[in-house]
Amino acid sequence: MSKASNKLNPTTEAIRIQIPRTDEGEHSAPLYLTSSFCFDEAETMRAAFADEIHENIYSRFTNPNVDEFIKKMCVLEGAEAGYATATGMAAVFVSVFALLKQGDHLICSRSVFGSTHTMVTKFLPRYGIEATLVDAADRQAWENAVKPNTKMVYLETPTNPQLELIDLEWAGSFAKKHNLILNVDNCFATPLLQRPIDFGAHIVVHSATKWIDGQGRVLGGVVVGQKELIHDIYLFSRNTGPSLSPFNAWILSKSLETLDVRLQRHCENAMKVALALKKHKNVEWVKYPFLEDHPQFEIAKKQMKAGGGIVCVEVKGGIEKGRQFLNKLNMISMTANLGDTRTIASHPASTTHSKLTEQERLNVGITPGLIRISVGLEFIDDIIADLSQALD
């Protein structure tokens, strides 16, 4: 690792942490595309397998490029240890399945990422793990959900796509009071805008596919947190195989070098988009964590450094107008991803949540004309011009 790494700001560490240079003296870290690593002595190999020494053995377990990415994420999140996975969902999966067992109970916030919701409601029960979904804003519901076998609380803030916030300070004290593992999906904020561990989270999961890559190229995920919990996650993963590829780790580690500057521009552009759309006659309302009329603006100010890159707007005229709006966009992409350099718009009611009834959608906060905009890094006037002409 780099010299004097303890005294640097985490954003500098995200740039400077690097695996040891080879004899070539390369400035940019080389890519270790190797399945396994060689030993000179049978004894060293034995000791490595016995976990007595830390040596790379096989890239399903550890790999230098993957280690570099994990170390940067740990510094950014203020975590003791981490494990990186092939996708964000693999990170969510191992963070739950490695730590819970048959007979355990999980409390999960009702508004979580679609696949997380499916995992919790459809797959956990198959393995004898019970889950209770609660409305994030209803504190009594959290209290009522606690059972003698409750082991973990899982939540996401801000949520996708409704941008609801959960008070992390409160969640931290709730978990502490009931002696539960607090597991937070920090994908929407990234550690540069919000650090759940500072509020008492034990585990933080990420889809690195989104803002961390930030350029729509690779999928990846990471779990960071307390050493003992991560060790259990590591043992589970090393034997089940959801590991991140060295190539994707190399990309993601490089991406972290620019995350700070990218996010500054994403947040600045997003705020400008939010303010511009608020004035448009065909917009019912705009939701953005750092707008004063966001229902949880006070929480946003307390736990986030900026509002992030996602803006939600309700287009007047419901589902039909929502779809028309998307069809009229010229530059902005219609695609399922988010957290890209390019601005992306999507209409949850007719796509990701189309299988639900209207009432079910409303229950989870998906209104008919809701458009989720992932604000990119393009010149702000071009973004606003495209959105405005589509709304006109």
Ligand X SMILES: *Cc1c(COP(=O)(O)O)cnc(C)c1O
Reduced to 3 states, what is the DSSP secondary structure of residue 16? helix
Instruction: Report yes or no: 184 and 203 within 8 Å, Cβ to Cβ.
Output: yes
Quote the crossing angle between the two packed helices 88-97 and 227-240, to the nearest 10°.
Answer: 110
CB of 326 to ligand X, least distance (A): 19
Residue window 150-169: x/- pattern of binding to ligand X, with contact defined by CB under 6 A: ------x---x---------
Token match 């060295």: residue? 246
For residue 307, what are its two tokens? 């509002």
User: Is the CB of residue 112 less than 8 Å from the CB of residue 153?
Assistant: no
| 360, two tokens | 């079910």
One-letter amino acid at 233 equals I
Using CA atoms, how far apart are residues 219 and 249, in angstroms rounded to an integer?
10
Q: Counting contacts by CB under 6 A, is residue 77 touching ligand X? A: no
Measured in residues, the chain has a length of 392
Q: What is the DSSP code (8-state) at residue 198?
A: G
Among 65, 209, 245, 303, binds ligand X (CB under 6 A): 209
When CB distances to ligand X are compared, the closest residue is 88
Region of 32-40, 173-181, 183-191, 286-294 interacting with ligand X (CB under 6 A): 183-191
Using CB under 6 A, which of 67, 73, 81, 88 touches ligand X? 88
**Per-residue DSSP letter, 197:** G
Interface map 32-71 toward ligand X (x if CB under 6 A): ----------------------------------------
Least distance CB 228 / ligand X (angstroms): 24
What is the closest distance, in whole angstroms, from the C-beta atom of residue 159 to ligand X in the complex? 8
In angstroms, give the least distance from the CB of 195 to ligand X. Answer: 16
Residue 154 φ then ψ, to 5°: -120, 130
Contacts of 231 (CB under 8 A, 6+ apart): 81
Listed ranges 12-20, 56-64, 88-96, 163-171: which one lies at the site for ligand X (CB under 6 A): 88-96
Scanning 23-31, 170-178, 181-189, 380-388 for contacts with ligand X by CB under 6 A, the matching segment is: 181-189
Q: Which of 131, 145, 152, 219 binds ligand X (CB under 6 A)?
A: 219
* Site stretch for ligand X (CB under 6 A), options 23-31, 143-151, 185-193, 312-320: 185-193
